[in-house]
Amino acid sequence: MVTDSDTPVPAAPAAEKQSLGPIPGTSTQDRRGPRGGGGGNFGGGNRDRGPRRDDRRPDVDDGISEKVVFINRCAKVVKGGRRFSFSALIVCGDKEGKVGLGFGKAKEVSDAIKKGGQAARKNLTPVTIVNGTVPHETYAEFGGGKVLLKPASPGTGIIAGGGVRAVCEAAGVKDILAKSMGSSNHANVVKATIKALSGLRTRETILSSRGKKVRDKAI
């Protein structure tokens, strides 16, 4: 005789797991907080605060190019060892007839270049350029630096080196013959080159200063 107690009772089917999704406010993104950059009520996200505010000054392209002529490293001996500082000689120009020289000093190379560039932008000097070259031969001296500049025909290029080449490229000169005949000090050579370029004058300027007019060429 089989009783009800001897009959095996089938096990109840396991409840199917239902994916209810993450509970609001408990996801990984919501639990990050201010350091993780997530959302939620703990801060860190930009979901409710709008775009991020950037107080840094944007770099404005003013059309002025910078060229690093020379970087010098200076070592100061102190009790704890040696401390280094850097100085940078920078030439700036708009390649349309303006060029300037700047000198910056700082503990880091990048800061020295930045200071030199800012100083050069404040000291832009206009120079005279005719058809991509200088209107006439010129010579200038500054300290021990002696520079000779001569006009060149189109296609010649900038036949110069060092600081003279940097100044000519920044000013917008395309064809020129240059010679440095004095000291090799970079600062004096650059200053002599700028002095030579700033002293250039065209034929019209010279004649107008004398009260004369330029004659038209006969056909």
CA distance 105 to 72: 9
Domain span at residue 76 reads 65-204
Q: Is residue 129 part of a domain?
A: yes
Burial of residue 69 (number of CB atoms within 10 Å: 0-12, 13-18, 19+): buried
Q: Is residue 47 part of a domain?
A: no
pTM here is 0.67
Q: Is residue 75 part of a domain?
A: yes
* Confidence at residue 60, expressed as pLDDT on a 0 to 100 scale: 57
As a dihedral over the C-alpha atoms of residue 168, residue 172, residue 174, residue 180, rounded to 10 degrees, the angle is: -10
Q: Is residue 18 part of a domain?
A: no
The CATH number for 175's domain is 3.30.230.10
For the chain (length 219 residues), average pLDDT per consecutive 10?
53 52 52 49 50 50 84 92 94 91 94 94 90 92 94 92 91 93 92 92 84 67
* Confidence at residue 25, expressed as pLDDT on a 0 to 100 scale: 54
* Confidence at residue 42, expressed as pLDDT on a 0 to 100 scale: 47
Annotate 93-114 with DSSP letters as a single string.
Answer: E-SSSEEEEEEEEESSHHHHHH
The answer to whether 94 touches 127, Cβ cutoff 8 Å, is no
Q: Is residue 92 part of a domain?
A: yes
* Confidence at residue 111, expressed as pLDDT on a 0 to 100 scale: 94
* Confidence at residue 102, expressed as pLDDT on a 0 to 100 scale: 94
Number of domains making up the chain? 1
* Confidence at residue 167, expressed as pLDDT on a 0 to 100 scale: 93
Report the amino acid identity of residue 3. Answer: T
SS3 annotation, 114-181: HHHHHHHHHCCEECCCECCECCCCEEEEECCEEEEEEECCCCCCEECCHHHHHHHHHHCCCCEEEEEC
